[in-house]
Amino acid sequence: MTHLDQVREQLSAGDLAKVRSFFHHMPKIDLHRHLEGSLRLQTLTEIAVEHGIDLPAYGIEELRPYVQVTGDKYDFHEFLAKFRLLRRFYRSQEAVERVAYEAVADAAQDNIRYLELRFNPVALSRAQNFSLLQVTEWVSRAIAQAQKDHSITARLILQIGREESLRIAEEIVDIGISHQDVGVVGIDLAGDEINYPPHRFAALFYKARQEGLGITVHAGEAGGAENVQAAIHLLHAQRIGHGVRVVEDSNIVHFVRNNGVTLEVCPTSNLQTGVVLSLSHHPLLDLLALGVLVTINTDDPSISDTTLTDEYMVALLAIGLEVDHVRTSVKNSINASFLPQQERRLLGEQFREWDSE
């Protein structure tokens, strides 16, 4: 009997603790996780004390509502507001490296075998006017050490804000291109997709793709399905961050599917940002039925108080996926990763070995 056969039996018996244990021990892949949304609350309080950062509260439980989604009233702008406080903590090289190291260590603790961790160099640099190059090198150094200390492979995606100047965007792309040998594998566009269309970044993203970087774009989250089409058509996106609103237009669903584009779906985040009204209305199951390539990810595990194990449980119990759907999402993650083909093959072998036991 394979691992998957066992979990099917456990689900039938209603033994959710064993199902959760199964998913925790399952080798996992997270392609959509933000460094700025992965800070430990204990680390926040310690950095605040060390650097004299003025916080609304210093106890972990008192601080929690300011940096984590609590309660059951969800709003996109309130979710994003958490980042305004979280981005005040990058006060030194040591702080940046600590946060990056811990983000990878926490992923490894959840038995994530491969992580693509994205971050905005501008956000990390602003607290003390560090250079974009400095913070990128600090983050890359920290994840290299974390990989040595924990059983995980981690790579970096550099994120560009949609509202950013072309000069800064070009600098980030150039840093990404020149740092592929230390773990940078992709470029991301994120931010206000309603008021900042992507066309002005087209040449830069084409350059990044030509130089070997993977392209992922946040779209179809706050904005509609047409934004997903624009990201693929204008920016040559191979993956779409979230993208769940693509179901609003059947023609664009076909466009996504026919172009082999993978969606990075983050169920809990989609609920907390108000993109879906409830998890029972989440389109993940519909996307699978339509043949769209989907993956399951965490987005901002600290803000959402979630793990990838939690997201798999949510997918089964609240959205209605079957165990085989989760298995398919992991295979999609392997194929959609920005690793070179040989490394993707080795990653796939790890999962197949576990899957056949």
On the 0-12 / 13-18 / 19+ scale of CB atoms within 10 A, 324 is: exposed
CB atoms within 10 A of CB 93: 16
* Ramachandran region, residue 123 (left: φ > 0; alpha: ψ -120 to 50; beta: rest): alpha
The C-alpha atoms of residue 354 and residue 185 are separated, in whole angstroms, by 26
Annotated catalytic residue, options 164, 221, 264, 311: 221
Q: Is 248 a catalytic residue?
A: no
The C-alpha atoms of residue 334 and residue 350 are separated, in whole angstroms, by 10
The C-alpha atoms of residue 244 and residue 252 are separated, in whole angstroms, by 12
Give me the DSSP letters along 218-269.
EESSSS-HHHHHHHHHHH--SEEEE-GGGGG-HHHHHHHHHTTPEEEE-HHH
What six digits make up the tokens of 227? 């934004």
Collapsing DSSP to helix, strand or coil, 31 comes out as strand
159: nearest Cα among 197, 222, 201, 98: 201
Q: Exposed e or buried b for every residue in 120-142, given b needs 16+ CB within 10 A?
A: bbbbbbebeebebbebbbbbbbb
What six digits make up the tokens of 310? 């939690």
List, by residue number, the catalytic residues: 221
